[in-house]
Amino acid sequence: MSRAVVILGAGPGGLTAAQRLRRYLPPEIAITVIDRADEQRLGISLLLVMRGWRNPADVSLRPAQVLRDGIVFLHAEVTGIDPEARRVHTDRGDLPYDALVVALGAEVVPEAIPGLEAAIAAGAAGQFYTLGGALHLRERLACFAGGRILVVVARLPYKCPPAPYEGALLIADRAREHGVSDSVQVALFTPEPQPLAVAGPAVGQRLTELLAERGITLHTGQELVAVDAAHREAVFSSGAREPFDLLVVIPPHQPPAVVRAAGLTGETGWVPVAFPTMRAPVDGVWAVGDVTTLRLPNGSPMPKAAVFAQQQADAAARDIARSLGATAPEPEISGRGRCWFITGAGEAGYVEGEFLAEPAPVVQLYPPAAEHFRAMEQELAEWSAQASG
């Protein structure tokens, strides 16, 4: 009987898992990647779209054109996962599997914050974690001549950890470019005790200084509990009510409903996985990327970022191949990661370090420079051009 590996999700983790598995597995073992979207984008690309520096077509990749060597891409909606029967249900039929990789990422759920959806519908609020949201904010910012803009991290954890800080910096940068910086006030609110707490106090202090240099006020330890769309106020658990003219929210995140319904999530609300194999608690299932929870040596969750999703995908592919009798290296995850950090005015820095270092991550923030921005652009261009390679 032929054997099959099914991968749910065609983002960085899912694509990497498929490509590594094809390298390790014999051709008679089928590999199928399923995703409801036939286009993919890296998270940082959405910031460039919001800022008006890129259009969607400039930062898109089509999985069907990237996956080669007999890997099948199925453009379909996953409607159910049956781990006991080892079958995946989709709106285009069922697929059996011998090994399943769950790489469906994290979904944003603005409805989890009372009043937020009403504020978005009224044009008073927005978010840049989806393409539609980034385009909507681009339009709102294009006609924003003055007032108070709040950038608010609603809940932890969320994907692309530097993104809220980049978003605030890019909004302030746009105001300067259009000559309205004197009439635009940008404030950032986060539940964390300091910016990017997982990266340590030195990085948090440098980010705090960078925000202050750009005229952005920072409020830590503030968790959003509601939005009063009628009065344009953000309501926090501390009891504070902050007025705004435009609210930019990093909405709460959660695993897709199909993952939760399959009983794959643990007490944290995310899929718990073993290190470094990325095995889920259910036989025959591996999970990688933003849908998972994986603890660092100091107890903090591993950041939800593409660089770690790709490392996890390679580790899972190795373990799957070995479990299916193929030859592959032992699973490993380096824990070394780098995330670009766009600051505006054609400059970017980056956050890089050893996130699996003991007793805590050793991370550094490299200062903004034009050369870093160009390197980031080159990396994004190479990612988007994979289909022609």
- CA–CA distance, 243 with 279 (Å, rounded to integer): 46
Indicate the residue among 306, 323, 340 that finishes a domain. 323
**Does 116 lie in the same domain as 69?**
no
**Does 78 lie in the same domain as 52?**
yes
- CA–CA distance, 114 with 293 (Å, rounded to integer): 26
**Does 214 lie in the same domain as 139?**
yes
Burial of 15 (0-12, 13-18, 19+ CB in 10 A): buried
**Does 133 lie in the same domain as 28?**
no
Mean pLDDT of 158-185: 96
**Does 148 lie in the same domain as 93?**
no
**Does 288 lie in the same domain as 233?**
no
- CA–CA distance, 48 with 8 (Å, rounded to integer): 27
pLDDT digits (tens, 9 = 90+) for 92-132: 999 999 999 999 999 999 999 999 999 999 999 999 999 99
- Check residue 282 and give its pLDDT: 96
- CA–CA distance, 219 with 91 (Å, rounded to integer): 45
pLDDT digits (tens, 9 = 90+) for 18-52: 999 999 999 999 999 999 999 999 999 999 999 99
Burial of 189 (0-12, 13-18, 19+ CB in 10 A): buried
pLDDT digits (tens, 9 = 90+) for 228-243: 999 999 999 999 999 9
Domain contains 375: no
pLDDT digits (tens, 9 = 90+) for 212-230: 999 999 999 999 999 999 9
- Overall domain count for the chain: 2
Indicate the residue among 323, 347, 377 that finishes a domain. 323
**Does 118 lie in the same domain as 92?**
no
Task: State the CATH number of the domain containing residue 28.
Answer: 3.50.50.60
Domain boundaries, position 130: 109-250
- CA–CA distance, 57 with 110 (Å, rounded to integer): 26
